[in-house]
Structure 1
Amino acid sequence: MSTALSRSGPVSFLRRANPLDALLAEADRALRVLSGSATAGRPYPATADEAPQTLSAQEKRHAAGLMRVNHVGEICAQALYRGQASVCREPAPRALLLNAAAEEVDHLVWCNQRLAELGSRASLLNPVWYAGSFALGVLASYAGVPRNLGFMAETEKQVEAHLESHLRTLPVQDERSRQIVEKMKEDEAQHRASAEQAGGVPLSLPVRTAMKAMSKVMTTTAYWI
Protein backbone atom coordinates (compact mmCIF):
# COMPACT_ATOMS: atom_id res chain seq x y z
CA MET A 1 0.00 0.00 0.00
CA SER A 2 1.32 3.50 -0.85
CA THR A 3 0.23 6.85 0.60
CA ALA A 4 -0.03 10.29 -1.07
CA LEU A 5 -0.89 13.70 0.44
CA SER A 6 -3.99 15.72 -0.53
CA ARG A 7 -5.53 18.92 0.80
CA SER A 8 -7.68 16.90 3.19
CA GLY A 9 -4.81 14.70 4.44
CA PRO A 10 -3.28 11.32 3.50
CA VAL A 11 -4.91 9.36 0.71
CA SER A 12 -4.32 5.61 0.53
CA PHE A 13 -4.16 3.73 -2.75
CA LEU A 14 -4.94 0.02 -2.66
CA ARG A 15 -3.96 -2.12 -5.60
CA ARG A 16 -7.10 -3.56 -7.15
CA ALA A 17 -7.28 -7.23 -7.94
CA ASN A 18 -6.35 -7.77 -11.56
CA PRO A 19 -8.18 -10.57 -13.43
CA LEU A 20 -5.00 -11.08 -15.44
CA ASP A 21 -3.17 -12.05 -12.24
CA ALA A 22 -5.67 -14.83 -11.57
CA LEU A 23 -5.42 -16.00 -15.19
CA LEU A 24 -1.62 -16.11 -15.03
CA ALA A 25 -1.74 -17.96 -11.71
CA GLU A 26 -4.03 -20.62 -13.21
CA ALA A 27 -1.78 -20.93 -16.27
CA ASP A 28 1.26 -21.40 -14.02
CA ARG A 29 -0.56 -24.06 -12.02
CA ALA A 30 -1.62 -25.86 -15.20
CA LEU A 31 1.97 -25.89 -16.46
CA ARG A 32 3.25 -27.33 -13.19
CA VAL A 33 0.56 -30.02 -13.22
CA LEU A 34 1.14 -30.96 -16.86
CA SER A 35 4.93 -30.88 -16.62
CA GLY A 36 4.93 -33.25 -13.65
CA SER A 37 6.68 -30.73 -11.41
CA ALA A 38 3.76 -30.49 -8.96
CA THR A 39 4.44 -31.99 -5.54
CA ALA A 40 2.17 -33.96 -3.23
CA GLY A 41 1.21 -32.66 0.19
CA ARG A 42 0.78 -36.14 1.64
CA PRO A 43 3.04 -39.20 1.77
CA TYR A 44 3.11 -41.70 -1.09
CA PRO A 45 0.63 -44.44 -0.08
CA ALA A 46 2.43 -47.28 -1.90
CA THR A 47 4.41 -48.81 0.96
CA ALA A 48 4.34 -52.50 0.00
CA ASP A 49 7.63 -54.05 -1.09
CA GLU A 50 7.88 -55.04 -4.74
CA ALA A 51 10.21 -57.80 -5.89
CA PRO A 52 11.78 -57.16 -9.32
CA GLN A 53 10.05 -60.12 -10.99
CA THR A 54 6.65 -59.83 -9.27
CA LEU A 55 4.84 -58.70 -12.43
CA SER A 56 5.15 -60.16 -15.92
CA ALA A 57 5.68 -57.80 -18.87
CA GLN A 58 2.00 -58.10 -19.82
CA GLU A 59 0.85 -57.42 -16.26
CA LYS A 60 3.10 -54.36 -16.08
CA ARG A 61 1.62 -53.01 -19.32
CA HIS A 62 -1.91 -53.55 -18.01
CA ALA A 63 -1.17 -51.98 -14.62
CA ALA A 64 0.51 -49.03 -16.35
CA GLY A 65 -2.50 -48.59 -18.64
CA LEU A 66 -4.85 -48.44 -15.65
CA MET A 67 -2.61 -46.06 -13.72
CA ARG A 68 -2.36 -43.84 -16.81
CA VAL A 69 -6.16 -43.74 -16.93
CA ASN A 70 -6.19 -42.83 -13.23
CA HIS A 71 -3.60 -40.12 -13.82
CA VAL A 72 -5.72 -38.63 -16.62
CA GLY A 73 -8.74 -38.76 -14.32
CA GLU A 74 -6.84 -36.69 -11.77
CA ILE A 75 -5.69 -34.25 -14.45
CA CYS A 76 -9.34 -33.79 -15.42
CA ALA A 77 -10.56 -33.50 -11.82
CA GLN A 78 -7.86 -30.95 -10.99
CA ALA A 79 -8.78 -28.81 -14.01
CA LEU A 80 -12.51 -29.28 -13.50
CA TYR A 81 -12.50 -28.11 -9.87
CA ARG A 82 -10.16 -25.21 -10.59
CA GLY A 83 -12.48 -24.16 -13.40
CA GLN A 84 -15.53 -24.43 -11.17
CA ALA A 85 -13.84 -22.46 -8.38
CA SER A 86 -12.59 -19.75 -10.74
CA VAL A 87 -16.06 -18.30 -11.26
CA CYS A 88 -17.71 -19.39 -7.99
CA ARG A 89 -18.36 -16.36 -5.78
CA GLU A 90 -19.68 -18.22 -2.72
CA PRO A 91 -16.78 -18.61 -0.22
CA ALA A 92 -17.75 -21.98 1.27
CA PRO A 93 -18.37 -23.88 -2.01
CA ARG A 94 -15.29 -22.28 -3.54
CA ALA A 95 -13.15 -23.44 -0.60
CA LEU A 96 -14.61 -26.95 -0.93
CA LEU A 97 -13.70 -27.09 -4.62
CA LEU A 98 -10.18 -25.79 -4.05
CA ASN A 99 -9.57 -28.27 -1.24
CA ALA A 100 -10.68 -31.13 -3.47
CA ALA A 101 -8.44 -29.82 -6.25
CA ALA A 102 -5.47 -29.81 -3.86
CA GLU A 103 -6.05 -33.46 -2.95
CA GLU A 104 -6.37 -34.34 -6.64
CA VAL A 105 -2.82 -32.99 -7.06
CA ASP A 106 -1.67 -35.59 -4.55
CA HIS A 107 -3.41 -38.28 -6.58
CA LEU A 108 -1.87 -37.31 -9.89
CA VAL A 109 1.61 -37.09 -8.33
CA TRP A 110 1.16 -40.57 -6.86
CA CYS A 111 -0.07 -41.98 -10.18
CA ASN A 112 2.81 -40.36 -12.03
CA GLN A 113 5.30 -41.89 -9.60
CA ARG A 114 3.75 -45.31 -9.98
CA LEU A 115 3.86 -45.00 -13.78
CA ALA A 116 7.59 -44.31 -13.53
CA GLU A 117 8.03 -47.37 -11.32
CA LEU A 118 6.26 -49.45 -13.96
CA GLY A 119 8.53 -48.05 -16.66
CA SER A 120 5.72 -46.16 -18.36
CA ARG A 121 4.54 -42.57 -18.87
CA ALA A 122 1.54 -40.28 -18.53
CA SER A 123 -0.93 -39.69 -21.38
CA LEU A 124 0.36 -37.62 -24.30
CA LEU A 125 -3.05 -35.95 -24.49
CA ASN A 126 -2.97 -34.46 -20.98
CA PRO A 127 -2.98 -30.82 -22.22
CA VAL A 128 -6.18 -31.56 -24.15
CA TRP A 129 -7.80 -33.24 -21.14
CA TYR A 130 -6.83 -30.32 -18.87
CA ALA A 131 -8.07 -27.56 -21.17
CA GLY A 132 -11.37 -29.28 -21.90
CA SER A 133 -12.03 -30.06 -18.23
CA PHE A 134 -11.23 -26.52 -17.11
CA ALA A 135 -13.68 -25.10 -19.66
CA LEU A 136 -16.33 -27.61 -18.57
CA GLY A 137 -15.80 -26.60 -14.95
CA VAL A 138 -16.36 -22.93 -15.78
CA LEU A 139 -19.62 -23.80 -17.57
CA ALA A 140 -20.78 -25.98 -14.67
CA SER A 141 -20.21 -23.16 -12.20
CA TYR A 142 -22.54 -20.85 -14.11
CA ALA A 143 -25.39 -23.29 -13.44
CA GLY A 144 -25.48 -22.14 -9.80
CA VAL A 145 -24.03 -23.50 -6.58
CA PRO A 146 -26.42 -26.48 -6.07
CA ARG A 147 -25.79 -27.84 -9.59
CA ASN A 148 -22.12 -26.87 -9.41
CA LEU A 149 -21.69 -29.03 -6.31
CA GLY A 150 -23.97 -31.67 -7.82
CA PHE A 151 -21.59 -31.86 -10.76
CA MET A 152 -18.72 -32.40 -8.33
CA ALA A 153 -20.64 -35.14 -6.51
CA GLU A 154 -21.54 -36.94 -9.74
CA THR A 155 -17.97 -36.68 -11.00
CA GLU A 156 -16.67 -38.27 -7.82
CA LYS A 157 -19.35 -40.97 -7.93
CA GLN A 158 -18.25 -41.98 -11.43
CA VAL A 159 -14.57 -41.84 -10.48
CA GLU A 160 -15.26 -44.12 -7.51
CA ALA A 161 -16.85 -46.64 -9.87
CA HIS A 162 -13.82 -46.51 -12.18
CA LEU A 163 -11.42 -47.03 -9.30
CA GLU A 164 -13.44 -49.95 -7.99
CA SER A 165 -13.29 -51.59 -11.42
CA HIS A 166 -9.52 -51.06 -11.48
CA LEU A 167 -9.15 -52.77 -8.12
CA ARG A 168 -10.91 -55.79 -9.65
CA THR A 169 -8.69 -55.92 -12.74
CA LEU A 170 -5.26 -54.91 -11.42
CA PRO A 171 -2.88 -57.88 -11.07
CA VAL A 172 -3.47 -59.45 -7.66
CA GLN A 173 0.19 -59.18 -6.71
CA ASP A 174 0.45 -55.49 -7.65
CA GLU A 175 0.05 -54.28 -4.08
CA ARG A 176 1.70 -50.90 -4.70
CA SER A 177 -0.82 -49.88 -7.37
CA ARG A 178 -3.64 -51.21 -5.23
CA GLN A 179 -2.60 -49.14 -2.23
CA ILE A 180 -2.62 -45.99 -4.35
CA VAL A 181 -6.01 -46.74 -5.91
CA GLU A 182 -7.56 -47.61 -2.55
CA LYS A 183 -6.42 -44.31 -1.01
CA MET A 184 -7.67 -42.39 -4.03
CA LYS A 185 -11.06 -44.12 -3.81
CA GLU A 186 -11.29 -43.21 -0.12
CA ASP A 187 -10.59 -39.54 -0.91
CA GLU A 188 -13.09 -39.46 -3.80
CA ALA A 189 -15.82 -40.82 -1.52
CA GLN A 190 -15.10 -38.03 0.96
CA HIS A 191 -15.24 -35.42 -1.81
CA ARG A 192 -18.60 -36.75 -3.00
CA ALA A 193 -20.04 -36.77 0.52
CA SER A 194 -18.77 -33.23 1.16
CA ALA A 195 -20.36 -31.93 -2.04
CA GLU A 196 -23.69 -33.57 -1.23
CA GLN A 197 -23.68 -32.29 2.36
CA ALA A 198 -22.87 -28.77 1.14
CA GLY A 199 -26.04 -28.68 -0.97
CA GLY A 200 -25.19 -30.44 -4.22
CA VAL A 201 -28.30 -31.64 -6.06
CA PRO A 202 -28.59 -34.75 -8.28
CA LEU A 203 -28.05 -34.04 -11.95
CA SER A 204 -30.57 -34.96 -14.62
CA LEU A 205 -30.29 -38.32 -16.40
CA PRO A 206 -29.20 -36.79 -19.75
CA VAL A 207 -26.34 -34.93 -18.03
CA ARG A 208 -25.22 -38.02 -16.11
CA THR A 209 -25.37 -40.08 -19.31
CA ALA A 210 -23.32 -37.50 -21.22
CA MET A 211 -20.71 -37.46 -18.45
CA LYS A 212 -20.42 -41.25 -18.59
CA ALA A 213 -20.04 -41.17 -22.38
CA MET A 214 -17.29 -38.54 -22.17
CA SER A 215 -15.57 -40.53 -19.44
CA LYS A 216 -15.67 -43.68 -21.58
CA VAL A 217 -13.92 -41.89 -24.44
CA MET A 218 -11.29 -40.52 -22.10
CA THR A 219 -10.55 -43.76 -20.29
CA THR A 220 -10.40 -45.84 -23.46
CA THR A 221 -8.04 -43.40 -25.14
CA ALA A 222 -5.84 -42.82 -22.09
CA TYR A 223 -5.21 -46.54 -21.56
CA TRP A 224 -3.16 -46.56 -24.76
CA ILE A 225 -2.08 -42.97 -25.49
Structure 2
Amino acid sequence: MTAPTPASPRPGQRGADRAAMLRVDQAGEYGAIRIYAGQLAVLGDRHPMSREIARMATQEERHRQHFDAMMAQRGVRPTLLQPFWHVAGFALGAATALLGPSAAMACTAAIETEIDDHYGKQLDALGPEDPALSGAIAEFRAEEVEHRETAIAAGAENAPAYPLLSGLIRLGCRTAIALSQRI
Protein backbone atom coordinates (compact mmCIF):
# COMPACT_ATOMS: atom_id res chain seq x y z
CA MET A 1 0.00 0.00 0.00
CA THR A 2 1.37 3.41 -0.95
CA ALA A 3 0.96 6.57 1.04
CA PRO A 4 -1.18 9.31 -0.49
CA THR A 5 0.74 11.92 -2.40
CA PRO A 6 0.22 15.60 -1.62
CA ALA A 7 -1.88 15.85 -4.81
CA SER A 8 -4.27 13.08 -3.69
CA PRO A 9 -6.39 13.75 -0.63
CA ARG A 10 -6.32 11.44 2.37
CA PRO A 11 -9.47 9.42 3.01
CA GLY A 12 -12.01 11.75 4.59
CA GLN A 13 -10.08 14.89 3.66
CA ARG A 14 -12.64 16.04 1.11
CA GLY A 15 -15.43 15.71 3.68
CA ALA A 16 -13.37 17.70 6.19
CA ASP A 17 -12.69 20.35 3.55
CA ARG A 18 -16.41 20.64 2.81
CA ALA A 19 -17.19 20.86 6.52
CA ALA A 20 -14.71 23.72 6.84
CA MET A 21 -16.29 25.39 3.80
CA LEU A 22 -19.74 25.18 5.31
CA ARG A 23 -18.53 26.34 8.70
CA VAL A 24 -16.80 29.43 7.35
CA ASP A 25 -19.57 30.25 4.87
CA GLN A 26 -22.24 30.09 7.56
CA ALA A 27 -20.08 32.22 9.88
CA GLY A 28 -19.53 34.76 7.11
CA GLU A 29 -23.23 35.09 6.39
CA TYR A 30 -23.90 35.44 10.10
CA GLY A 31 -21.20 38.11 10.38
CA ALA A 32 -22.69 40.01 7.42
CA ILE A 33 -26.11 40.03 9.10
CA ARG A 34 -24.52 41.47 12.24
CA ILE A 35 -22.61 44.12 10.24
CA TYR A 36 -25.83 45.26 8.59
CA ALA A 37 -27.58 45.28 11.99
CA GLY A 38 -24.87 47.60 13.32
CA GLN A 39 -25.16 49.86 10.30
CA LEU A 40 -28.93 50.07 10.62
CA ALA A 41 -28.70 50.73 14.36
CA VAL A 42 -26.66 53.85 13.62
CA LEU A 43 -28.28 55.01 10.38
CA GLY A 44 -31.84 54.28 11.44
CA ASP A 45 -34.66 53.53 9.06
CA ARG A 46 -34.96 57.05 7.64
CA HIS A 47 -31.60 57.20 5.89
CA PRO A 48 -31.79 56.75 2.09
CA MET A 49 -29.44 53.73 2.24
CA SER A 50 -31.36 51.99 5.02
CA ARG A 51 -33.82 50.26 2.70
CA GLU A 52 -30.96 48.92 0.55
CA ILE A 53 -29.00 47.77 3.62
CA ALA A 54 -32.11 46.00 4.94
CA ARG A 55 -32.58 44.29 1.55
CA MET A 56 -28.99 43.05 1.56
CA ALA A 57 -29.38 41.87 5.16
CA THR A 58 -32.46 39.87 4.15
CA GLN A 59 -30.47 38.14 1.42
CA GLU A 60 -27.66 37.38 3.88
CA GLU A 61 -30.21 35.89 6.28
CA ARG A 62 -31.49 33.61 3.50
CA HIS A 63 -27.90 32.53 2.78
CA ARG A 64 -27.28 31.82 6.47
CA GLN A 65 -30.45 29.77 6.78
CA HIS A 66 -29.46 27.71 3.74
CA PHE A 67 -26.01 27.01 5.18
CA ASP A 68 -27.56 26.23 8.59
CA ALA A 69 -29.74 23.59 6.94
CA MET A 70 -26.80 22.11 5.01
CA MET A 71 -24.72 21.98 8.20
CA ALA A 72 -27.52 20.18 10.05
CA GLN A 73 -27.95 17.68 7.20
CA ARG A 74 -24.22 16.98 7.05
CA GLY A 75 -23.48 17.04 10.77
CA VAL A 76 -21.15 20.04 10.57
CA ARG A 77 -20.66 22.08 13.72
CA PRO A 78 -20.65 25.87 13.58
CA THR A 79 -17.54 27.82 14.44
CA LEU A 80 -16.84 28.21 18.13
CA LEU A 81 -16.15 31.88 17.36
CA GLN A 82 -19.82 32.65 16.67
CA PRO A 83 -20.26 34.70 19.89
CA PHE A 84 -17.22 36.78 18.92
CA TRP A 85 -18.53 37.33 15.36
CA HIS A 86 -21.87 38.38 16.89
CA VAL A 87 -20.22 41.28 18.71
CA ALA A 88 -17.45 42.05 16.21
CA GLY A 89 -19.80 42.15 13.22
CA PHE A 90 -22.20 44.55 14.92
CA ALA A 91 -19.32 46.72 16.14
CA LEU A 92 -17.79 46.91 12.65
CA GLY A 93 -21.12 47.85 11.11
CA ALA A 94 -21.86 50.48 13.75
CA ALA A 95 -18.35 51.94 13.68
CA THR A 96 -18.29 52.33 9.92
CA ALA A 97 -21.80 53.84 9.91
CA LEU A 98 -20.69 56.32 12.57
CA LEU A 99 -18.02 57.47 10.10
CA GLY A 100 -20.82 58.12 7.63
CA PRO A 101 -22.88 56.36 4.99
CA SER A 102 -19.98 56.21 2.53
CA ALA A 103 -17.85 54.42 5.14
CA ALA A 104 -20.68 51.96 5.80
CA MET A 105 -20.76 51.26 2.06
CA ALA A 106 -16.94 50.99 2.01
CA CYS A 107 -17.27 48.27 4.62
CA THR A 108 -19.77 46.39 2.46
CA ALA A 109 -17.63 46.79 -0.66
CA ALA A 110 -14.49 45.56 1.13
CA ILE A 111 -16.16 42.54 2.67
CA GLU A 112 -17.95 41.54 -0.51
CA THR A 113 -14.69 41.82 -2.47
CA GLU A 114 -13.13 39.27 -0.13
CA ILE A 115 -16.21 37.04 -0.18
CA ASP A 116 -16.26 37.04 -3.98
CA ASP A 117 -12.63 35.88 -3.98
CA HIS A 118 -13.28 33.36 -1.19
CA TYR A 119 -16.32 31.84 -2.90
CA GLY A 120 -14.42 31.68 -6.19
CA LYS A 121 -11.64 29.66 -4.54
CA GLN A 122 -14.21 27.35 -2.98
CA LEU A 123 -15.89 26.75 -6.34
CA ASP A 124 -12.52 25.95 -7.91
CA ALA A 125 -11.74 23.49 -5.10
CA LEU A 126 -15.16 21.80 -5.26
CA GLY A 127 -15.36 21.33 -8.99
CA PRO A 128 -18.33 19.14 -9.92
CA GLU A 129 -18.06 16.90 -6.84
CA ASP A 130 -20.70 18.53 -4.63
CA PRO A 131 -23.39 20.16 -6.77
CA ALA A 132 -25.58 21.09 -3.80
CA LEU A 133 -22.82 23.05 -2.09
CA SER A 134 -21.30 24.51 -5.26
CA GLY A 135 -24.74 25.54 -6.52
CA ALA A 136 -25.48 27.43 -3.30
CA ILE A 137 -22.06 29.07 -3.30
CA ALA A 138 -22.41 30.16 -6.94
CA GLU A 139 -25.88 31.61 -6.34
CA PHE A 140 -24.85 33.43 -3.19
CA ARG A 141 -21.63 34.67 -4.78
CA ALA A 142 -23.64 36.42 -7.48
CA GLU A 143 -25.67 38.22 -4.81
CA GLU A 144 -22.52 39.18 -2.89
CA VAL A 145 -21.05 40.70 -6.07
CA GLU A 146 -24.29 42.64 -6.52
CA HIS A 147 -23.95 43.91 -2.92
CA ARG A 148 -20.43 45.12 -3.70
CA GLU A 149 -21.58 46.89 -6.86
CA THR A 150 -24.45 48.50 -4.95
CA ALA A 151 -22.06 49.74 -2.28
CA ILE A 152 -19.67 51.20 -4.83
CA ALA A 153 -22.53 52.91 -6.68
CA ALA A 154 -23.68 54.35 -3.33
CA GLY A 155 -20.35 56.08 -2.77
CA ALA A 156 -18.15 53.55 -0.98
CA GLU A 157 -15.03 54.95 -2.64
CA ASN A 158 -15.87 58.43 -1.25
CA ALA A 159 -15.34 57.25 2.33
CA PRO A 160 -12.64 59.01 4.34
CA ALA A 161 -9.30 57.24 3.82
CA TYR A 162 -11.02 54.69 1.60
CA PRO A 163 -7.90 52.71 0.60
CA LEU A 164 -6.82 52.35 4.23
CA LEU A 165 -10.33 51.58 5.51
CA SER A 166 -10.94 49.06 2.75
CA GLY A 167 -7.56 47.39 3.25
CA LEU A 168 -8.05 47.02 7.00
CA ILE A 169 -11.54 45.58 6.61
CA ARG A 170 -10.39 43.17 3.91
CA LEU A 171 -7.51 42.00 6.14
CA GLY A 172 -9.96 41.48 8.99
CA CYS A 173 -12.25 39.52 6.70
CA ARG A 174 -9.42 37.23 5.54
CA THR A 175 -8.44 36.68 9.17
CA ALA A 176 -12.03 35.83 10.12
CA ILE A 177 -12.21 33.34 7.25
CA ALA A 178 -8.99 31.62 8.30
CA LEU A 179 -10.05 31.42 11.95
CA SER A 180 -13.60 30.22 11.26
CA GLN A 181 -12.40 27.40 9.01
CA ARG A 182 -10.35 25.96 11.86
CA ILE A 183 -12.07 26.88 15.11
- Once residues 220 and 151 of structure 1 are traced to their aligned partners in structure 2, the CA distance between those partners, rounded to angstroms, is 19
Paired residue for 2:5?
Answer: none
Counterpart of 1:168 (choices 124, 136, 150) is: 124
Q: Which amino acid aligns with 1:73?
A: G
Paired residue for 1:118?
Answer: 74
Deviations 1:64-85 (A, max 9, x none): 1011111111111000011011
1:40-189 aligned at under 5 Å gives the runs: 57-89=12-44, 90-170=46-126, 172-189=128-145
In terms of Rg, which structure is larger?
1
Structure 2: gaps of 5 or more residues: 1-10
Secondary structure of 2:43 counterpart: coil
Paired residue for 2:168?
Answer: 210
RMSD of aligned alpha carbons: 1.7
- Once residues 187 and 61 of structure 1 are traced to their aligned partners in structure 2, the CA distance between those partners, rounded to angstroms, is 26
- Once residues 148 and 172 of structure 2 are traced to their aligned partners in structure 1, the CA distance between those partners, rounded to angstroms, is 19
- Cα shift at 1:86: 0.9
Counterpart of 1:199 (choices 149, 155, 158) is: 155
CA change 1:171–1:117 in 2 (3 A) is: farther
Structure 1: gaps of 5 or more residues: 1-55
Q: Which amino acid aligns with 1:110?
A: H
Q: Which amino acid aligns with 2:67?
A: C
Deviations 1:41-70 (A, max 9, x none): xxxxxxxxxxxxxxx632111111011111
Pairing 1:190–2:146 present: yes
Determine if contact 1:78/1:104 at 8 Å carries over to the other structure.
Answer: yes
More helix by share: 2
Number of residue pairs aligned between Structure 1 and Structure 2: 170
Determine if contact 1:59/1:171 at 8 Å carries over to the other structure.
Answer: no
Deviations 1:64-117 (A, max 9, x none): 101111111111100001101111145320111111111101111111111222
Output the TM-score relative to the length of structure 1.
Answer: 0.70
- Once residues 171 and 62 of structure 1 are traced to their aligned partners in structure 2, the CA distance between those partners, rounded to angstroms, is 13
Secondary structure of 2:68 counterpart: helix
- Cα shift at 1:220: 1.5
Determine if contact 2:102/2:157 at 8 Å carries over to the other structure.
Answer: yes
- Cα shift at 1:200: 2.6
Q: Which amino acid aligns with 2:20?
A: G
Determine if contact 1:153/1:196 at 8 Å carries over to the other structure.
Answer: yes
CA change 1:149–1:59 in 2 (3 A) is: same
- Once residues 166 and 202 of structure 1 are traced to their aligned partners in structure 2, the CA distance between those partners, rounded to angstroms, is 31
More strand by share: 1
